[in-house]
C-alpha cells in the first residue's frame, strides 16, 4: 500500500506529488497522440472519398480558342 509523504508543514512532499503528475502527463500525452491519429485518419478518409466519388472534371463546358462562341452585343 502506498503512503503519502508529507513535509514539516503538512504539505505533500514534491517527490510524491511529482509521481502523481507524471502519470497524468503520460495519460495526457497518450490521449493527445490518439487525437492526432484520429484527426489525420479522418482527413485521409475525407480526401479519399472526395477523390473516389467526385471526379476532377469541370462542372461546365469549356470551349477552345478555335471555336469562339458568338457574343451578343447591343
Measured CA to CA, the distance from residue 16 to residue 7 in angstroms comes to: 11
Helices (H) and strands (E) in the chain, counts: 1, 0
Is pLDDT of 14 > 90? no
Residue with cell 480526401: 47
Q: What are the cell numbers at 4? A: 503519502
22-57: pLDDT as tens digits: 556 788 888 999 999 999 999 999 999 998 888 777
In angstroms, the CA 32 to CA 29 distance is: 5
Going from N- to C-terminal start, the domains of the chain cover 1-74
Confidence of residue 13 (pLDDT cuts 50, 70, 90): confident
CA–CA dist 53, 46 (Å, integer): 11
Amino acid at each position: 500500500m502506498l503512503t503519502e509523504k508529507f513535509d514539516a508543514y503538512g504539505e505533500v512532499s514534491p517527490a510524491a506529488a511529482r509521481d502523481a503528475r507524471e502519470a497524468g502527463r503520460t495519460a495526457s500525452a497518450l490521449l493527445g497522440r490518439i487525437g492526432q491519429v484520429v484527426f489525420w485518419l479522418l482527413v485521409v478518409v475525407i480526401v479519399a472519398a472526395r477523390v473516389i466519388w467526385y471526379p476532377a472534371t469541370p462542372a461546365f463546358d469549356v470551349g477552345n480558342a478555335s471555336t469562339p462562341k458568338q457574343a451578343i452585343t447591343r
